[in-house]
Amino acid sequence: MQIINGKALAATLTEQIKNQVQAVVLQGKRKPCLAVVLIEGDSASAIYVANKQKACEKALIDSISIYKPASITQADLETIIQNLNNDKNVDGILVQLPLPRHIDKDKIINLINPAKDVDGFCTQNTGKLFENYKTNDMLFNSLSPCTPKGCIYCLLNAFEREGLSTDGKFLGGKSVCILGSSNIVGRPLANMCITLGATVSVCNSTTKNISFYTKNADIIIAAVGRAELVNGDMLKSGAIVIDVGINRVEGSNKIVGDVNFESISEVASYATPVPGGVGPLTIAFLLQNTLFAYLKTLH
């Protein structure tokens, strides 16, 4: 089994973004700017935001972090979003999820200007997932969700290493099984794979006999948040496995994915590790989305 090194891919992508930013700045333009809104209450979210800030620095993207208490009102959060929408020096807006229960998450997400929605979660941007994008346009010239983009980029890497075509519908003829149907990963990813020609099955918590679907899939993408759910017995020989899961082992600091990496090593052809797989690419594509949003303002 060959490993798809998401950390290395993300570093290369971040360097490319940095070079693009440098080229624009040398023309006398300002840097791109990402604004992140974090409501206190989730310790993991604070770590994610810190990682995003570090990534912005590497890519020469300015970042603004707005920290607010969990007691913030809906109206006050809406005012923050509106002010960022109206700020011509802010290109991307990200509201870190999850939000407190008293906040209407969907209303907040859809309040973000679609042209600044670098998470790709608002209704207008999710609707665009049904457009017939080519691979390159989907990844680099659209504001679509970052984790699904990271998954597609991993598949792209595997196909390129096999010397296979990655233009247009490069998943044509392939069977893809997605474990998880969230609005953040599973559903947008399913649309992307369909656009790229795949035959897609999406499993959720009520699916019976999940192995029936995984054993018939050329590609399995696990995004359910259940530690090491997928094992080698659930795969057909030569399958590509993309692991989106991030699960902390109880009583330790160890992080594992939704896939038992050791178990699949003798069966899969390619797989992403956890950590160091899709996670770094999620952040890299957040930077890419910010760059895309910024470049659109220069036209």
Instruction: Indicate which residues carry an active-site annotation.
Output: 52, 96, 119
Q: Say how many C-beta atoms besides its own lie within 10 A of residue 6's C-beta.
A: 27
Q: What is the DSSP string of 188-205?
A: HHHHHHHHTT-EEEEE-T
Instruction: Say how far apart CA 8 and CA 244 lie, in whole Å.
Output: 17
Using DSSP's 3-state secondary structure scheme, residue 17 falls into: helix
Structure tokens given for 233: 């017995």
CA separation (Å) from 152 to 92, 117, 193, 285?
22, 20, 8, 11
Matching residue, tokens 């259940």: 226
Collapse the DSSP code of 270 into the 3-class scheme (helix H, G, I; strand E, B; otherwise coil) and give the result.
Answer: strand
Q: How many CB atoms lie within 10 A of CB 267?
A: 18
> Which tokens in the block code for residue 218?
């050329």
Q: Give the tokens for residue 30.
A: 């300002």
